[in-house]
Structure 1
Amino acid sequence: MSRRNVRSVDPLSRPRLTVVAGGAPDESDPQPLHADATDALAKTLIDAFGDRVLFLFHRRIPGQTGDLPVIAVTSTGVHLIEPRSYPGKKVRASRDGSTFVIDGVRHTRIAEQALEHAEALQAAVQIGPLPEATVDTHYCFVEGELPLRPLEVGGVRVLSVRGTLRCLRAKGPLDEREIETLHRDLSRRLVRT
């Protein structure tokens, strides 16, 4: 058999990845499957940072439900990024800042879900090799009309893609070895969804 034919039949020579969206849609969420927002943000982040920032995509804490869409490990600590996309819709916070108001409709589950994810990730980091590492959570709106002033919902910052890039570029106390240690620990313990 020629070398060319061996490669063409070797199943390990070129892995094929298939993205499968799953789960039942949540009726309270105007855009229940945020796979497109996560995929778009992932491409932007990887293009912007390459291997200078270490990422985990679509992970969950074992024994819990809920997707942690984007986790970034940088010199400032661990960042949980909740991508959202509401093209052409006005994104605001309720008067008390506890929930999103998207085109005039309140969406309480978005903020509740982000809080659950943040608490789960914080607990995972605290039992890891660097328990004092900072865990920062924010929303990243890939599409949607954000107000000009800073926005926070349920204590979580709401950023544009540009704001997210700026946040991840910030310098912090962790060195390269500590970043790799944190990333390796989380990649072992967080299950792919």
Structure 2
Amino acid sequence: MRLRYAGTCRVCGASLEARSDAIYERATKTIRCLGCAAPESAGDDRAAEATHGPGPSPAETALPGRQDAERSVAVDAGTAGASARREHQRRRAKREERIRARHPKLGGLILALSDDPQSTTAWHTGALGEERLGRRLDELASPTLRVLHDRRIPGSRANIDHLAVTPTGVYVIDAKRYVDKRPSLRVEGGILRPRVERLLVGGRDQTKLVDGVLKQVDLIRSLVDDDLPVTGVLCFFEADWPRVGGSFTIRGVDVLWPKRLYPRLTAGGPHESRVAEVHARLAEALPPA
């Protein structure tokens, strides 16, 4: 098989890069390099057939989630920022078509001297943030940290930027690029009035971003087992974070920056054996956008 993640040959200890060819041992969920595979794999296959006959062994059929774990190897993880990039290009093309149709002779000059409207550049900005975060998540990916990018929400035009399935649970990650603007938490009320939490970015109320992540979290919770934690994350790139502190939680959604996020995703936890199965389940339910 072609490896989706980097690994180590269990026989000789050689490092195997992602997308290199190797032998996957279903019984032990380990891999071997091609140089170590031939003699041992032939013996293993003959021994397995002599004991159990052809086909899957009882150990393979008895272990829950094994087929899902193998299927996850071939999962399409998606392309980070793909739908935002397509929308940006679509809007630019429509604007160019419109201007050239109205001004056949001067259309090229008008396009050269004018900028795209903010509603178009916002899609470019969003795509950059998703692409950058996606690249780093792919670098961190391993058998115990599996990621999905740009997943389509059924029945909606919206999408989920990134999903990370880890030993500590599933993280629903919304990437945001607000250059030199500071995210902050404003709390109103709490004693005589109901407590209200608001997300400010550069002094402007952006609580709608939290609402969007919470909807995505509810969707993911409906797709996984009840005992598996699902955490919403707003990850801000290039924001004006303070030197001390800065990250916070609002209505259960963690607001932070990439370097604060990565250690949480790579930490050990009690759900390591479920990572592959959950990853495959989410990939099947949420196709690439």
Q: TM-score range with shorter-chain normalisation? A: 0.7 to 0.9
Report 1:33-52 matches (<5 A). Answer: 34-52=126-144
Partner of 2:216: 117
Report 1:31-180 matches (<5 A). Answer: 31=122, 34-96=126-188, 98-125=197-224, 130-147=225-242, 148-149=244-245, 150-176=247-273, 178-180=274-276
Partner of 1:183: 279
TM-score between the two structures when normalised by the length of structure 1: 0.76
* C-alpha distance in 1 between matches for 2:153 and 2:122: 24
CA contact (8 A) 1:31 1:86 kept: no
Amino acid at match of 1:39: E
Give unpaired runs (5+ residues) of structure 1. 1-16
TM-score between the two structures when normalised by the length of structure 2: 0.53
Which of 146-155 and 101-110 deviates more?
146-155
- Residue 161 of structure 1 deviates from its aligned partner by 0.7
Give unpaired runs (5+ residues) of structure 2. 1-78, 92-117, 189-195
CA contact (8 A) 1:98 1:111 kept: no
- Residue 61 of structure 1 deviates from its aligned partner by 3.0
- Residue 132 of structure 1 deviates from its aligned partner by 2.2
Amino acid at match of 1:21: R
- Residue 54 of structure 1 deviates from its aligned partner by 0.7
Amino acid at match of 1:145: D
- Residue 38 of structure 1 deviates from its aligned partner by 0.9
CA contact (8 A) 2:144 2:272 kept: no
* C-alpha distance in 1 between matches for 2:126 and 2:151: 14
* C-alpha distance in 2 between matches for 1:122 and 1:146: 30
Partner of 2:37: none
- Percent identity, aligned pairs only, is 23
Residue aligned with 1:144, SS = coil
Structure (1 or 2) with the larger CA radius of gyration:
2
* C-alpha distance in 2 between matches for 1:55 and 1:171: 16
Structure with more contact order per residue of length (Cα contacts < 8 Å, sep ≥ 6)? 1
Which of 98-107 and 156-165 deviates more?
98-107
CA contact (8 A) 1:57 1:70 kept: yes
Residue aligned with 1:166, SS = helix
1:21 equivalent in alignment to 2:86: yes
Residue aligned with 1:109, SS = helix
Q: How many residues align?
A: 170
Which of the pair is proportionally richer in strand? 1
Flag the 1:74–1:56 CA change in 2: closer, same or farther, 3 A.
same
* C-alpha distance in 2 between matches for 1:172 and 1:50: 14
* C-alpha distance in 2 between matches for 1:105 and 1:131: 36
CA contact (8 A) 2:172 2:213 kept: no
